[in-house]
Amino acid sequence: MTNYAGFDTDDYPGPVQLAWLKTNTNLGWCGYYLAPAPSHDNTSWMGQRQVLSAQGWGVAPIFVGQQTAGPGSHNAAGPQGSTDGALAARLASQEDFAPLSYIFLDWEDGSSPGQEAQAYVSAWASAVAGNGYRPGIYCSHHLAPDMAALIGRLDPAPPLRIWAWNVATVAAHPYGGLIERFPDADPAGCGYPAAVAWQCQQNCVLQLPGAPVTRMKADLSCASVADPGAP
């Protein structure tokens, strides 16, 4: 079974760096931060959709909404979920993502969400679906089953994709493998068999001899589909 290596990084690397990565590594898809979002005001990826398409990248739109822990905005409650879901869909449309594309809600907290947070996630997913897109959830592999069950209780229940993280460390560390072969394992290896993608390393420092930028920090993932955001 073929799986696909991908990456995400907060700052847009630029078209020349992306072209080098596409040509010289097995990376085939990347995260795309929709912004400004409640917990991500960096808009550097916005307006770059056509560049990525022309270079042949698969894309996973990411919306960093309300959080219950860590930096960013912390209004994780039902009514705000509806507002943020509509915003995520509007930003995706602005960036020419096709209707029914998946937008991944970035849920950084690895602990179980309380009732208010569950209401936020449900309302966010409903609003995304009601505005012509499909919800995805980026979360810990421990939370993935509960997140899937939460969205599955919606009426109607929209199709859902889970991008689960399961990493050995969140500290910055050098990537020890070959750049020609970034991780492309079966995402089921994250511990949640139904995951479409697995973020298997965070805060990797990549050494890229010959690249326009030879040192680059990124999170590494693998997916069962070439384009995790595609309908």
pLDDT for the residue 180: 85
pLDDT for the residue 131: 98
pLDDT for the residue 52: 98
- Taking the C-alpha atoms of residue 169 and residue 177, their distance in angstroms, rounded to an integer, is 16
Per-residue pLDDT of 93-148, as tens digits, reads: 999 999 999 999 999 999 989 999 999 999 999 999 999 999 999 999 999 999 99
CATH of domain 4-223: 3.20.20.80
pLDDT for the residue 65: 98
Task: DSSP for 173-207, please give it.
Answer: EE--S-TTS-----GGGGS-TT-SEEEEEEEEEEE
Per-residue pLDDT of 46-104, as tens digits, reads: 999 999 999 999 999 999 999 998 999 999 999 999 999 999 999 999 999 999 999 99
pTM for this one? 0.98
pLDDT band at residue 222 under the 50/70/90 scheme? very high
What is the CA angle 59-61-63, rounded to 5?
160
Q: Is the dihedral of CA 161, 227, 83, 126 positive or negative?
A: negative
Task: Kindly report the average pLDDT of the chain as a whole number.
Answer: 97
